[in-house]
């Protein structure tokens, strides 16, 4: 298991309880969609994976407990790409943004350059390495944000609403990139067709508990299940049958 959570509970300082005993295993190489209505606890849950939040219960990444003593290594292994790429891009050039994380791990010179080149190639942004991030399109900035995480060579890539605010072409380009990556993917999304396209497994989290876990196709085909959790397929979209 690359991810293993047992009895994860969490309450915010105001007393609002966001997670109510989450148990979850994710195998290496799986692509998993995390679905659920707003306020279900999805973001709270993924922020436990790299120690931004710490509640009750246990979280392990590659068998390594998520504890204060292990945070540097945990945050190398679990890379989170936030919904707004501008939350992650702050350096003068694309290459400097991608280099920031590995440089903090101590990489220098040709080794650091190679790591940057590798990550930018993975997201198709090599030709933009010397551009200022704010001169890029939103879709390009999202791809650079993915590269900043890939440069750390994580075990798990967490994507928060990856398709939001993307035009159809950028949405397709990002899907092609994500499908080509050799990494475990956990994707938080309300975009149910995108979940079906990218993830073979889906979870529904609602009111701080995992209420469904199965193939994405089976879950999205269950109209009553979706309705109970305020999830809806786009008008006219039908879940394909068969393999």
pTM over 0.85: yes
* Helices (H), ranges, the chain: 42-46, 71-77, 94-104, 109-122, 138-150, 168-180, 192-198, 216-221, 223-228
Enter the tokens of residue 184: 């475990």
CATH number of 3-228: 3.40.50.300
Q: Cα–Cα–Cα angle for 107, 62, 66, nearest 5°?
A: 85
Q: Where are the domains of the chain?
A: 3-228
> What would the pLDDT profile of 81-93 be if each residue is shown by its tens digit?
999 999 999 999 9
51-62 core/surface letters (b: 16 or more CB in 10 A; e: else):
bebebebebbbb
> What would the pLDDT profile of 12-25 be if each residue is shown by its tens digit?
999 899 999 999 99
> What would the pLDDT profile of 51-64 be if each residue is shown by its tens digit?
999 999 999 999 99
**Dist CA 21 CA 43 (whole Å):** 15
Are 240 and 192 in contact by the 8 Å Cβ rule? The answer is: no
Statement: residue 241 has pLDDT above 90: no
Statement: residue 243 has pLDDT above 70: no
**Dist CA 9 CA 55 (whole Å):** 6
**Tally of CB atoms within 10 A around 207:** 15
The pLDDT > 90 percentage for the chain reads 95
């Amino acid at each position: 298991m690359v991810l293993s959570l047992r009895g994860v509970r969490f309450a915010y300082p105001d007393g609002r309880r966001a997670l109510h005993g989450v148990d979850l295993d994710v195998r290496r190489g799986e692509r998993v969609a995390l679905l659920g209505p707003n306020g279900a606890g999805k973001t709270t849950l993924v922020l436990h994976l790299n120690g931004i939040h710490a509640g009750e219960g246990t979280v392990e990444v590659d068998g390594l407990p998520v504890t204060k003593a292990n945070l540097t290594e945990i945050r190398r292994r679990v890379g989170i790409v936030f919904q707004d790429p501008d939350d992650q891009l702050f350096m003068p050039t694309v290459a400097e943004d991608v280099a920031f994380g590995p440089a903090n791990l101590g990489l220098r010179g040709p080794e650091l350059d190679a790591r940057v080149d590798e990550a930018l190639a993975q997201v198709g942004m090599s030709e933009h390495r010397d551009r200022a991030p704010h001169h890029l399109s939103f879709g390009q900035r999202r791809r650079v944000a993915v590269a900043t995480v890939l440069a750390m060579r994580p075990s798990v890539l967490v994507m928060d609403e990856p398709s939001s605010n993307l035009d159809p072409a950028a949405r397709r380009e990002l899907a092609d990139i994500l499908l080509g990556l050799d990494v475990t993917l956990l994707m938080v999304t309300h975009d149910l067709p995108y979940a079906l396209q990218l993830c073979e497994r889906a979870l529904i989290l609602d009111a701080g508990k995992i209420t469904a876990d199965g193939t994405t196709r089976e879950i999205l085909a269950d109209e009553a299940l979706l309705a109970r959790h305020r999830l809806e397929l786009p008008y006219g979209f039908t879940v394909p049958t068969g393999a």
